[in-house]
Amino acid sequence: MNLSNSVIITKLAPPVLRQKLIPRTDLLATILEADAKRLLLISAGAGFGKTTFMVSLFHEFGALNACRAWISLDADERNEIRFLRYLITALSHDGTISTDEAEIILESQTYNRASRVMTAVINEMANVDRQIILFLDDYHLVDGREVGSVVDYLLSHAPANFRLIIASRTRPDLTCHYLPLRHKMNFRKLLITTCGFLSPKPAIFYGRPIS
**pLDDT band at 33, cuts 50/70/90?**
low
CA separation for the pair 169, 187 (Å, rounded): 18
Please report the sign of the dihedral spanned by the C-alpha atoms of residue 102, residue 106, residue 107, residue 109.
positive
Structural domains of the chain sorted by starting position, each given as residue range(s) with its CATH number in brackets: 4-191 (3.40.50.300)
Tens digit of each residue's pLDDT (9 = 90 or more) over 56-68 = 889 888 988 999 9
Q: Kindly report the pTM of this predicted structure.
A: 0.82
CA separation for the pair 42, 23 (Å, rounded): 17
CA separation for the pair 54, 178 (Å, rounded): 27
pLDDT over threshold 50, residue 196 = no
CB 22 within 8 A of CB 53: no
User: End-to-end CA distance of the chain, in Å?
Assistant: 37
Strands 188-191 and 162-168: unpaired
CB 110 within 8 A of CB 43: no
Higher pLDDT, 67 or 208: 67
Tens digit of each residue's pLDDT (9 = 90 or more) over 136-192 = 999 999 999 999 999 999 998 999 999 999 999 888 888 765 455 555 545 555 555
The whole-number pLDDT of residue 64 equals 87
